[in-house]
Structure 1
Amino acid sequence: MLKLESVKVAYGAIQAVKGVSLEVRKGEVVTIIGANGAGKSTLLKSICGLEPVTEGRILIDGKDATNVPAHQRVGLGVAMSPEGRGVFADQTVRENLMLGAYSRRKDASAIEAAIEREFRRFPRLRERQDQLSGTLSGGEQQMLAIARALMSEPRLLLLDEPSLGLAPLIIKDIFNAIRQLRQSGLTILLVEQMAKQALGVADRAYVLETGHITLEGSGRELLDDPKVKAAYLGTH
């Protein structure tokens, strides 16, 4: 579904991503863990076209998408729930969802069906559907950000720090939703600092450090890896 070949991304003279190669197979949940500043969010932005790649290639479903504009990557089946949620604060919950379906705007009945599907997935959004998104709690905004990304019917969902700043009970709800999406067959690339939860839901995982992949393996292998335990799980 996704393949990165020696991808580099720079901000001026600063090299944020330094030749990353990875792959995400159809139906997998793949997790990227790493410390703040490792380049995780930059890497996701490059995959959806929000940051230009200076070297290397991005293949989506076998097609070279390296220079495809971000709005056209939605048509290739890619959607992202961004770090910090990024909801449109002055729009209602329902309007945010409709904006997520912009690429399908000519099919009103399909959009309504998709909104209903997301309300079933996140019942709290149904209760808040006419409320301005800026007045929602952090957890509700995160649910909305994921639901909005799903409105475009993606085949590859990018999740950037979905647990950031949330209470433990809400984090549990978010990871339950990720498990349900996995069971539905959706392909997911997850960037997450809650390493234990992220590795627990992952088929495979990568460790990104200062722009480089330093470890890779199954979620279980990295959970049991002494280096990962020491650096990210708080145990030796």
Structure 2
Amino acid sequence: MLKLESVKVSYGAIEAVKGVSLEVRKGEVVTIIGANGAGKSTLLKSIVGLEPVKDGKVYIDGKDCTYVAPHKRVGLGVAMSPEGRGVFADQTVRENLMLGAYSRKSDPRAIEEAIEREFKRFPRLKERQHQLSGTLSGGEQQMLAIARALMSEPRLLLLDEPSLGLAPLIIKDIFEAIRQLRHSGLTILLVEQMAKQALGVADRAYVLETGLITLEGSGKQLLNDPKVKAAYLGAH
């Protein structure tokens, strides 16, 4: 579903991603863990086209998408729930969801069905569907960001730090939603600092340090790896 070959991304003279190769197979949950500033968010942005790739290749479902515009990648079945949620604060919950379905605007009935599906997944959003998104709690905004990404009916969902700044009970709800999406067959690439939870839900995982992949393996292998335990699991 996704393959990166020696991808490099730079901000001026600073190389944030230094030649990353990874793959995500259809139906897998793959997680990327790493410290702040490791290049995780930059890597996700390069996959959806929000950061230009300086060198290397991005393949989505076998197609070279290295220089394909972001909106066209949505059409190829890719969607992202960004770090910081990025909800449209002055739009209602329902309007945010409709914006997530812009690529399907020619089919209003399908959009309504998708909205109802997300309300079933996140009942709290249904209760607040006419509320301005800027007035929601952090957890509700995260639910909305994920639901909005799902409105385009992606085949590959990128989740960037979905637990960031949330209370433990809400984090539990978010990871339960990720498990349900996995059972539905959706392919997911998850960037997450809550390493224990992320590795627990992942089929496979990569460790990113200062723009380079330093470890890879199954979620279980990395959970039990002494280096990963020492660096990322001590606080969880």
TMscore range, shorter length: over 0.9
SS at match of 2:199: helix
2:164 aligned residue:
164
Measured in 2, the distance between the counterparts of 1:62 and 1:132 equals 40
Measured in 1, the distance between the counterparts of 2:106 and 2:134 equals 27
2:188 aligned residue:
188
1:36 aligned residue:
36
Which aligned pairs between 1:139-218 and structure 2 lie closer than 5 A? 139-218=139-218
1:53 aligned residue:
53
For residue 11 of structure 1, report the CA deviation from its aligned partner.
0.3
SS at match of 1:72: helix
For residue 114 of structure 1, report the CA deviation from its aligned partner.
0.0
SS at match of 1:163: coil
Which aligned pairs between 1:91-130 and structure 2 lie closer than 5 A? 91-130=91-130
SS at match of 1:37: coil
For residue 20 of structure 1, report the CA deviation from its aligned partner.
0.0
SS at match of 2:18: strand
Structure 1: gaps spanning 5 or more residues: none
Q: How many residues are paired up? A: 235
Deviations 1:100-146 (A, max 9, x none): 00000010000000000000000000000000000000000000000
Measured in 1, the distance between the counterparts of 2:183 and 2:102 equals 26
Deviations 1:24-76 (A, max 9, x none): 00000000000000000000000000000000000000000000000100001
1:81 aligned residue:
81
Measured in 1, the distance between the counterparts of 2:176 and 2:15 equals 35
Q: CA RMSD in A?
A: 0.5
Measured in 1, the distance between the counterparts of 2:7 and 2:171 equals 31
Structure 1 segments of 4 or more deviating over 3 A? Answer: none
Question: Counterpart of 2:46 in structure 1: which amino acid?
Answer: S
Question: Counterpart of 1:121 in structure 2: which amino acid?
Answer: R
SS at match of 1:140: helix
Give the fraction of aligned pairs with identical amino acids, expressed as a percent: 88
Question: Counterpart of 1:119 in structure 2: which amino acid?
Answer: F
TM-score normalised per structure 2: 0.99
